[in-house]
Amino acid sequence: MADYRSGVQMTVVSLRRYPVKSMGGESLASARLDTRGLCGDRWFAVEDEDGHFASGKNTRRFRRRDAVFNYTASTNDTGQVVVACGPRAWKVGDPALDDELSHVMGAPVRVAPEVAIPHQDMGAVSIISTATLDWCAQRWGISSDPRRLRVNILFTSDQPFIEEKWVGSEVRVGGVKLRVVEPVPRCRMIDIDQDDARTEGRWLKPLAAERDMFLAMYADVAATGVIRVGDTLTVG
């Protein structure tokens, strides 16, 4: 297998989980992965009466409801998912939360768990390197905060876009094996304030012009286990 390793040791520097799809997420020191991805990631979504999920775009699966980005979801010590907006907070399952979201979105919605339709988009886990983000910031003069991309795993590298060379390869990190499958297509969501990240510089237009709107990579979970911040990545 070709050697696609970076010239420096590649390590995990950030793990991020999004308990409610399209809402702000939470930073983790460690995460358990099952075949679906980070346990609890995008397990809930804001769903309307027609089964569409709140998002920043309109598609067959999604309805554009930008108000969803004003909320953040996190997991408390008992494993309960809590949604917050400023000083206000609700536990998922509280009817008051569904009432709140229905009011701000102008349509009846509820926070619902995944059932028949997957909440994940095209892959179990998303990954990107620090070098890739640095390249974007320097090339286009923008804030390349990874929270704008909603990626799960950020790792150090000295080679921009090295992750794109890993398609079909297995990446070992901590007690997990990931199989890199395809690049992540981007949409207007990366140019919306979200997850406490401010939109400083438009990202989508230059990304479309020079990178075919792809940034970061999707990976499937080939072997389940635990990943921790500080774990080393090895390829092959």
The secondary structure element, H or E, covering residue 96 is: helix 95-105
Distance CA 188, CA 2 (A): 35
The secondary structure element, H or E, covering residue 11 is: strand 10-17
Confidence band of 58 (pLDDT split at 50, 70, 90): confident
For range 79-104, the mean pLDDT? 97
pTM of the model: 0.92
Question: At a CB cut-off of 8 Å and minimum separation 6, what does 77 contact?
Answer: none
DSSP 8-state secondary structure symbol assigned to residue 92: T
Q: What is the mean pLDDT of the chain?
A: 93
C-alpha distances out from residue 70 to 1, 35, 136, Å: 45, 30, 26
Burial letters for 63-90: b for 16+ Cβ neighbours within 10 Å, e otherwise? bebbbbbebbbbbeeeeebbbebeeeeb
For range 76-84, the mean pLDDT? 95
